Amino acid sequence: MTPLELLWNGWRATYVQSGGAAGGVPSDDGTSIFTRILRSGLPDTESHIVHRGELVFAIMNAFPYSVGHVLVLPFREIGDLEDLTVDEAAELWPTVTSAVQVLKSVMNPGGVNVGINLGEPAGGSVRQHLHVHVVPRWIGDGNFMTATANTRTLPEALPDTAAKLRAAWPTSTAPVT
């Protein structure tokens, strides 16, 4: 066995054991993982919510593509962009912009990916609850581990990253200027 075969990447266990559907499988009442988190009553520090607005919130991705991967979504569980109310749509994009700005200031990435996967064919794993991915990127972060072992290495624990982002988030819903 080579050392690479023994690399511990424990955060992936839940995702792998679920067949890649962790969080994407609705509960018995049909609600998404995000709705269940919101209803859990857990404090934001335990649920990894880094920002709450009036109609949308930002949460750390439990199965991140890279360290700092944030999801921005409406509190209301909807699956498609066209289902957003005017007010939800008006708050969503400035919150995405704030997420980008906070990630740039805290994580100092070389770039940022922003995207939405609508529907299962597009890669939407939690398709019943619209969410925008905001992913900081660095040159070399898609190295041989991702390409050959389908494994990502994260240099920082999720709660630590969440605390940094939460502390840096602007208090208003307007993007940082």
Residues annotated as catalytic (active site), given as ranges: 131
What pTM value is reported for the model? 0.77
Residue 12 pLDDT:
44
Burial 56-87 (b: 16+ CB within 10 A, else e): bbbbbbbbbbbbbbbbbbbeebeeeeeebeee
Residue 117 pLDDT:
87
Where do the structural domains in the chain lie, given as residue ranges?
Answer: 26-168
Q: What is the CATH number of domain 26-168?
A: 3.30.428.10
- Average pLDDT per consecutive 10 residues, the chain (177 residues; last block may be shorter): 43 44 58 94 96 97 90 96 97 97 96 90 80 92 52 71 93 56
